[in-house]
A and B are shown apart, each in its own frame.
Chain A
């Protein structure tokens, strides 16, 4: 052990899922790690720094939650490895802080005793002391400390109560707690621990009435009801989609107006020429066209954060277990798959909490078919083209709902087939889920999380998308032709030539060369499609915002094949939607899949399968539609 005489240099936070380890970690280190009211939000070890009251720097590790030290799933294995100092580059921690939910001592102490048995110095953080007090639980931390032989700190991490006391405790002498107290109670260590905990809880945690009706019970009576529960689930998720569509419109207007006038302003400052065209068409038109979708993405992450933080997500997983079973999965796959609606990367990461390794692989495989937020810009561009001008936003929401439904349904069918082919697990895993009490959402953390996601989206728009926009602008501008006709100039450019090469490949899907080129660019990141289309169809900033907003759509509606037929018929638009629902156009996702599944073959197979499937599905839809006479 590398502990210096005056205190530890590395401490690790361990505890059952949902005991508040990450909240404590954030309180100690000032970090903004994502906190949820759902088991398994932390799936990897996070590290940060804190300072003792004397100003000594201490490194803190936040470990994934685990119920025991038996390591049943990859995230629990990570926690166990960290305790043994087996993580690459990490020594054995000098001090373990066991975080427990004090309203649940009987259950959480199991893990604490196992940690004490490891022979490492421990401190017990009695977290959520406020909840225990509200439940009428009478706790006696002093007695608990005497019985366990380790310091016990009552605290409420989300209100920063007890943090100073915990930091003081880091300096206390740290004798190894005697384990004989419970090992001599029974020959079997498991039974010994249980007997000891029962005795201990009699002494230090008197429950007035174990089964009083709490607010959570009353809410659950409705939200988990076989009929009302489902109505609530459908209602909640439909509201989320509807709200994303309708609330986002107001800030989107502002962004468009700002972007429009900024483009005009830049245009008025500069003389006609290539550089002005680069700035206005390439940079402002390209990156700006994607930034417009920021409000929708922010709202989606906000709602997911709300559902997670309030505790409803676990209920949804419980309700969905039956549905997931039809796909050969379990309720445990619900959170990974649902998170994939925001972004497949956290979704694939969250699959670590699934105990069955085969179910985990299948979940990772189909996760990218849960339409992620990067597809939204594409959908928002196409859906209004399918509708008449004055259709209500609820109709658009319904279409969006159908798009999500199609992706999800196909994912389930493929999951079922794949699960059948992989065969049964050696040790059958069973559905087991803690339903946390409903809590008021931790707004601070939700907002910071949403801000993080928004910033990373803006960053992406400012780097990858901006870079590709400039590249696309250059490709569609040079080499220059002598013709003053824009269409001919484009056909002469490098992009026009690429388009001509691609056109035979994408024509059976109902796309022209320009769409083919835009799709090709979108394999770097899906959102690029929108800016590519804006650049390829030469959308310029219009006089007022309303026109700017509709210009790309107008240009698209007006686009025709050389023989005068419109390119964007409802059928080709649907074919385009289908392609985007199924294609895996996200390099970061493939990288994460390769890491989480432990094989590049799995990631490559997934990419080839999904892209091939997208092509085949679009092809079938377009050709079948043409045969029927659309």
Chain B
């Protein structure tokens, strides 16, 4: 499945959703990993903006005005960068 190429990313600014500070707005760059189909179904699609609302065992994110709780393992598969 073709994803955005690694070269498209600014390596210095890319991080996983787990590494984002609570309260920050970020933009999804790439989804990679076994859970990415499931994440896309739920609306975690490339280029969408996400706000992380809570960290911990499970993360809470606001995406398109909906709050979703996802596990750390899934959040690890969401590569984000700061909103441009």
Contacts and interface: CB of A to CB of B under 8 A. Distances in A.
Partners in one complex: yes
Contacts of B51: 210-211
Contacts of A198: 47
B67 A430 contact: no
A435 B69 contact: yes
A174 interface: no
Nearest to A355: B38
Interface residues of B, number: 35
B22 to A, nearest CB: 11
A322 B66 CA distance: 22
Contacts of A211: 25, 51, 62
B46 A194 contact: yes
B9 interface: no
Contact of B38 (A110, A207, A217, A430): A430
B74 A321 contact: no
A106 B69 contact: no
A216 interface: yes
B64 A104 contact: yes
Contact of A70 (B37, B69, B74): B37
A609 interface: no
A318 interface: yes
Interface in A194-247: 194, 197-198, 207, 210-211, 216-217, 220, 224, 226
A68 B41 contact: yes
B35 A430 contact: yes
A433 interface: yes
Contact of A432 (B53, B57, B71): B71
B71 A188 contact: no
Contacts of A431: 58, 69-71, 74
A602 interface: no
Contact of B42 (A107, A220, A318, A322): A107
16 contacts: A67-B38, A70-B41, A104-B43, A110-B40, A110-B41, A188-B1, A188-B2, A194-B46, A210-B49, A220-B53, A322-B57, A331-B58, A427-B34, A430-B70, A434-B66, A435-B68
Contacts of A554: none
Contacts of A331: 58, 69
Contacts of B60: 220, 224, 318, 435
B49 to A, nearest CB: 6
B34 A428 contact: yes
Given A110-B40, A321-B58, A432 B65 contact: no
Contacts of A103: 65
B63 interface: yes
A72 interface: yes
Contacts of B43: 104, 106-107, 110
B2 A187 contact: yes
Interface in B28-84: 34-35, 37-38, 40-43, 45-49, 51, 53-54, 56-58, 60, 62-71, 73-74
Interface of A: 67-68, 70, 72, 103-107, 110-111, 135, 187-188, 190-191, 194, 197-198, 207, 210-211, 216-217, 220, 224, 226, 318, 321-322, 325, 331, 427-428, 430-435, 437
Contacts of A135: 65
A324 to B, nearest CB: 11
A216 B57 contact: no
B76 to A, nearest CB: 10
A428 B49 CA distance: 27
Nearest to B35: A430
A432 B60 CA distance: 10
Contacts of A207: 65
Contacts of B48: 106
A427 B73 CA distance: 13
A210 B71 contact: no
Given A430-B71, A432-B70, A104 B65 contact: yes
Closest CB pairs A-B (n = 6): A107-B43, A67-B41, A435-B67, A68-B41, A431-B71, A106-B64
A19 to B, nearest CB: 11
Contacts of A432: 38, 42, 68-71, 74
Nearest to A103: B65
A428 B34 CA distance: 9
A476 B34 CA distance: 65
Nearest to B48: A106
Among B34, B70, B71, B74, max chain A CB count under 10 A is at B71
Among A72, A107, A226, A331, max chain B CB count under 10 A is at A107
